[in-house]
Structure 1
């Protein structure tokens, strides 16, 4: 079985388990996540490899991090995530990419990401649930962080925090790659 097959199977199993724990029907989850019922059926039956955006919407609707949705093994006390198990969820031909390094579910989803943005590239994000916060630390280059239409320059060695329940994005307007680490904290579902 390939890594993609493992991820597809894990996503199917974890999505269905969490949906049932919360007592959501497929229709209810579809409405809550803004994803079609048909897509949810395909995901739960491990018949599709959904986009990162779809996985994020479903995770937000379930109050789960992407890490937990894609986790092969659930809930060890200490979890080591070797480099080869980190999940690259977004990439471009020019070499930009984001990699989910690790995550936990206490008290709500908390994710740790590694990002690389090549010159001239960027990534936009829809608003996350109310109460979601992000932190970024730029280790190389200069990031252009946009939060609700306002741009912020974040040079190497600088960190930024913001509430990400509004449209936001990351862009590299410079001539060298931007390397950054990001955390996303999503509140527990009510």
Structure 2
């Protein structure tokens, strides 16, 4: 059995979804707001995309990020604390690990977040109707809609509309959380 790397999954998925929409590399790069050379490298199986690049591509392709980076499903799946497909923000203090996806037609992704204090992660609006659910596992964070963020501690839960700007900022080192994103 061949060991498929995360970049192999990403490369094949970007090409598959781009071809599904009959888009050229140039047109997809333009829609996503990324350099054509960056997209070409990703489709060639090289490069190390930031979380922002993954989100931009997913939005341009009208698919959840998980469709670009997830492995084929198995009956039983265990992801240990330091395993999984990790995407790191360009800011470097925010990393998201995809934990689970929904089958085709369903729109739910689950991520484990590990965030360090520093600059707040400001996210662009997701597609209309998107809702984020977050449970803080350890530490404290300020998160939610950019115009009304809340401070949460370990064990606290929040849900909010993510089809507007929203923010996540760790207030303590090694703040961790579980985020479920619903789209549809």
Shorter-normalised TM range = 0.7 to 0.9
Q: Which residue of 2 aligns with 1:32?
A: 31
Q: Tell me the TM-score normalised to structure 2 length.
A: 0.80
Distance change in 2, residues 1:38/1:109 (3 Å):
farther
Residues 15 and 44 in structure 1, CA contact (< 8 A), matched pair in contact too: yes
* Residue correspondence of structure 1 range 3-82 to structure 2 within 5 A: 6-72=5-71, 74=72, 76=73, 78=75, 80-82=77-79
Say whether 1:145 aligns with 2:130. no
CA distance in 2, matches of 1:110, 1:161: 14
Residues 65 and 104 in structure 1, CA contact (< 8 A), matched pair in contact too: no
Say whether 1:117 aligns with 2:112. no
Residues 93 and 118 in structure 2, CA contact (< 8 A), matched pair in contact too: no
- The one of 148, 154, 169 equivalent to 1:156 is 154
CA distance in 1, matches of 2:67, 2:106: 11
Q: Secondary structure at the match of 1:18?
A: helix
CA distance in 1, matches of 2:139, 2:15: 41
- Structure 2: 5+ residue stretches without partners: none
Distance change in 2, residues 1:24/1:98 (3 Å):
same
Distance change in 2, residues 1:81/1:61 (3 Å):
farther
- Structure 1: 5+ residue stretches without partners: none
- The one of 168, 181, 184 equivalent to 2:181 is 184
Q: What RMSD, in angstroms, separates the aligned Cα atoms of the two structures?
A: 3.0
Distance change in 2, residues 1:79/1:24 (3 Å):
farther
Q: Tell me the TM-score normalised to structure 1 length.
A: 0.78
Report how far residue 135 of structure 1 moved. Answer: 0.6
Residues 100 and 110 in structure 2, CA contact (< 8 A), matched pair in contact too: yes
Distance change in 2, residues 1:130/1:36 (3 Å):
farther
Residues 65 and 103 in structure 1, CA contact (< 8 A), matched pair in contact too: no
CA distance in 2, matches of 1:32, 1:105: 26
CA distance in 1, matches of 2:57, 2:111: 18
